[in-house]
A and B are shown apart, each in its own frame.
Chain A
Amino acid sequence: MSLDIILLAMLDGLSYGAQVFLVAVGLSLIFGVLRVVNVAHGSFYAIGAYVAASMGIWIATAGWSPWLSYPAMLVAAILVGVVVGGLLEATLLRRIYGKEQVLQLLVTFAVFMILEDVQKVTWGVKPYFVNTPLSLLGTVNVLGINYSIYQLAVIPLVALCVLLGLRFILRYTRIGRIVTAVTEDREASMAMGVDSSRVYLFTFMAGAALAAFGGALASGSTSLVPGMGSGMIILSFAVAATAGLGQIEGAAVAALMIGLGRSIAVYLAPEFDVLMPYLIMFVVLLFKPQGLFSTLQTRKV
């Protein structure tokens, strides 16, 4: 394995890990507050990608500046988070918070099934590819390898901004502090009179928007196919579980690990690239069942 292949693998892994991070951090955020693993999370990713791609096409046909397709991604993400995520939380999830975990899992799984159909009906089953965001920025030569600036710089930088932004919001804003408090000690913060229904709605929309943003960014460089959501939910769960559910910064580390692991596998043994993320997860969970960064909690008897 030569040096440039290693470099290429690392750049790929960075870009891929950054996308996965956005989705996984949304999943983790939602779990931290709502204690629900949202199986439909992968659908937000896919829908975010489709909406961003549609907006890109729309901008092109309207004859507007193609540079608008970058802010359109953010708009698409917020739109999906608020509309799809908000609707889901307010109409359905709200009714199942008190129920058994197994039932919550089933309900979000059912939503996932429904949203898969919604995607197929709305966007068809043919691959979608809008490469404006990719081609607009061109490529850059890194040690003899041509690499697209979009994947090399834009996606990782955006992910970094999201990470820093999230840290800031969670530490220094009122709503962020409430979210942190609920994540850390649910009973205590509920007892202190936190308005849970608003926090839940906000968190769920934010989490959904993050997943959709991951999808929107991905839409700039990959083709969109049906089933992309199912792959992503498992992958983002692997990342969130590796980090420890509810861990924000941990998700970034885990996403990077899994992104790098996968892209190295792509170059070494392409048949097994899908195995790599789960292998990493299994190994981590074998030694740290609660994930890398979580603090252990025991039940009181």
Chain B
Amino acid sequence: MKQIVLKADNLRLRFGGVVAADGASLTAYAGDRIAIIGPNGAGKTTFVNICTGYLKPQSGAVIFEGKDITPLAPRTIARGGIGRSFQLPQLFLDNTVFENLLLALSAREGTWRPWMRLDRHPKADEMRDMLEVIGLSKVGDRPVRELPEGMRKLIDIAVALALKPRLVFMDEPTSGVSSREKFSIMDTLVRALDHSATTAIFVEHDMDVVSRYADRVAVWTGGKIALEGTPEHVLNDPDVRKNVIGV
């Protein structure tokens, strides 16, 4: 029996009249690759926001490695081993790509030494390798502000992975990436995840990506996980085909 990494239990949250989460539950086991799919604007990002501490549910709990993290701040949750990437990349635009990764490295290692240059970080090579892996070595010294959205997307995920989280949430990793590149990005990503034995939950719209890279699929409708199973099972469900995939 695999170990439970994350257990979101019966989460409920409403803003004013809008129900964002209505009894949402999801369990992730070590090494899982769970894809969350669902119609646009259904609140998939809200689910990620609750699990990472940005929003607080009105009831329900998020249990990470047996510990209740529901009341914790995003900062504490991040330090505890959950990383995340964003639908719109959240990066330090004035800093270089390399510096973005090095700041994540410093955060992970707690190396805030005022006498040490950031680019001379003792483990800087690890980040250089990561740049190599995601194929961005050439732009490593350019400020993120100058780079196109597709690259930022990748950097955003790399920054999240630089923390070496045990669980990572990725909010639409392939949106804004050309369809030609999406598989190579996902290949790279999955290799990195396998290498570090990181459990991953990702929100995804692209069903090709879902069927190829997810080992479980969860369908988010009406503020909860309405259906869950293997990609073959879920993607062939008539309801899902009609309402989510739209065929």
Contact = CB atoms under 8 A, between A and B. Distances in A.
A81 B105 CA distance: 54
Interface of B: 45, 49, 54, 86, 88, 90
Interface in A178-196: none
B27 to A, nearest CB: 25
Interface of A: 301
A105 to B, nearest CB: 19
Interface of B is mostly: loop
Contacts of B90: 301
A301 B86 CA distance: 7
B188 to A, nearest CB: 24
Interface centre among B54, B86, B90 (most CB of A within 10 A): B54
A-B interface, 6 closest residue pairs, ranked by CB to CB distance from nearest? A301-B86, A301-B54, A301-B90, A301-B49, A301-B88, A301-B45
Nearest to A299: B54
A100 to B, nearest CB: 12
Nearest to B87: A301
6 contacts: A301-B45, A301-B49, A301-B54, A301-B86, A301-B88, A301-B90
Contacts of A301: 45, 49, 54, 86, 88, 90
A301 B49 CA distance: 8
A301 B160 CA distance: 15
B9 to A, nearest CB: 23
Contacts of B86: 301
A301 B89 CA distance: 9
A301 B90 CA distance: 8
A121 B153 CA distance: 57
A101 to B, nearest CB: 16
A301 B85 CA distance: 10
